[in-house]
């Protein structure tokens, strides 16, 4: 299959040196790309700024902002049968970007923000028979939030991780996730390496009924 994967954070600049972002290291998304390749799939990876080596055999598009990630993901959509959106897209961006570095003396004490595009929601209209997988990083009432996102973003599977654990989620090499699928099924996986989690996700996608494949 052709699998499009997004990974890493996005950066939303306010001037040439300052930005809003998050703690995503890209490890989970890169693991998904590697495992999909290892299982014989073609992989395109849309990556935010991370320090990881590109997975051998993947075609990699590097992006910085949520707007650029939306454009690159939109471009890859026609090519893929599966979209796995692992990226931790920044939810907010500064409402304006200054072309020169803002002087600290002249900085406003309040920074006007606006929402970034929700990439999965924007692509939902063109989903067709594709399989869409999303991630949810939650700290409280995780199951309710994960199920709400599954429905709102028209996902087939949402992989929920509890980012309040030190050995799971952001930056760690291990992760503890649960799968919620659109057919109502639930599966809690034990703590395992991100490579193993990635392998389970790709196996789930392979078992998903794909039209014409
Ligand atoms: O709403 P929330 O950010 O928790 O949803 C997480 C899922 O939605 C992830 O799969 C993430 O990649 C995706 N997402 C997106 N566009 C955004 C924010 C999140 O596609 N602006």
From 5, 74, 87, mutation site for ligand 1 pocket: most ligand atoms within 8 A of C-beta: 87
Based on the structure, what is the number of domains in the chain? 1
- Looking at the DSSP assignment, which residues form a beta bridge with residue 2? 42
Within 10 angstroms of residue 77's Cβ, the number of other Cβ atoms is 14
- Nearest by Cα to 137 from 25, 58, 42: 25
| Ligand 1 atom closest to 122 (CA) | 20
* Residue 105 maps to a domain: no
Phi-psi region of 8 (alpha: psi -120 to 50; beta: other; left: phi over 0): left
- Nearest by Cα to 7 from 103, 112, 119: 119
Tokens of 159: 């992989």
User: Which is more confident, 134 or 104?
Assistant: 134
Residue 93 pLDDT greater than 80, yes or no: yes
Encode pLDDT of 149-167 as tens digits: 999 999 999 999 877 766 6
Distance in Å, CA 135 to ligand 1 centroid: 7
Query: What's the rounded Cα separation, in Å, for the pair 133 and 131?
Result: 7
* Residue 158 maps to a domain: yes
* Residue 107 maps to a domain: no
Tokens of 38: 């290892």
CATH number of the CATH domain containing 143: 3.40.50.10300
Encode pLDDT of 107-143 as tens digits: 888 999 999 999 999 999 999 999 999 999 887 888 8
Residue of minimum CA distance from atom 17 in ligand 1: 118
Give the predicted TM-score (pTM) of the model. Answer: 0.95
* Residue 106 maps to a domain: no
Please identify every residue annotated as catalytic.
Answer: 22
Q: Is 17 exposed, middle or buried (0-12, 13-18, 19+ CB in 10 A)?
A: exposed
- Which protein residues are within 6 Å of ligand 1, measured from CB? 66, 85, 87, 89, 91, 116-120, 134-136, 149
Q: What mean pLDDT is reported for the chain?
A: 93
The whole-number pLDDT of residue 61 equals 98
- Looking at the DSSP assignment, which residues form a beta bridge with residue 91? none
| Ligand 1 atom closest to 137 (CA) | 4
Residue of minimum CA distance from atom 2 in ligand 1: 136
The whole-number pLDDT of residue 161 equals 86
* Residue 178 maps to a domain: yes
Distance in Å, CA 102 to ligand 1 centroid: 30
Distance in Å, CA 46 to ligand 1 centroid: 14
* Structural domain boundaries, residue 170: 2-99+112-207
* Residue 23 maps to a domain: yes
* Residue 7 maps to a domain: yes
* Residue 198 maps to a domain: yes
């Amino acid at each position: 299959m052709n699998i499009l994967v997004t990974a890493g954070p996005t950066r939303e600049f306010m001037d040439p040196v300052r930005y809003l972002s998050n703690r995503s290291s890209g490890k989970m998304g890169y693991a998904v790309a590697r495992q999909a390749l290892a299982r014989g799939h073609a992989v395109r990876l849309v990556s935010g700024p991370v320090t990881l080596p590109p997975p051998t055999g993947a075609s990699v598009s590097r992006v910085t902002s949520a707007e650029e990630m939306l454009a690159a993901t939109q471009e890859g959509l026609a090519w893929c049968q599966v979209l796995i959106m692992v990226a931790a897209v920044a939810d907010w961006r500064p409402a304006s970007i200054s072309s020169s570095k803002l002087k600290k003396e002249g900085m406003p004490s309040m920074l006007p923000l606006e929402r970034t595009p929700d990439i999965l929601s924007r692509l939902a209209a063109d989903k067709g028979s594709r399989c869409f997988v999303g991630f949810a990083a939650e700290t409280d009432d995780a199951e309710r939030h994960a199920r709400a996102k599954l429905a709102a973003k028209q996902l087939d599977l949402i992989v929920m991780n509890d980012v309040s654990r030190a050995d799971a989620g952001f930056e760690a090499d291990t992760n503890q996730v649960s799968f919620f699928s659109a057919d109502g099924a639930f599966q809690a996986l034990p703590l395992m390496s991100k490579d193993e989690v990635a392998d389970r996700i790709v196996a789930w996608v392979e078992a998903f009924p794909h039209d014409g494949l």
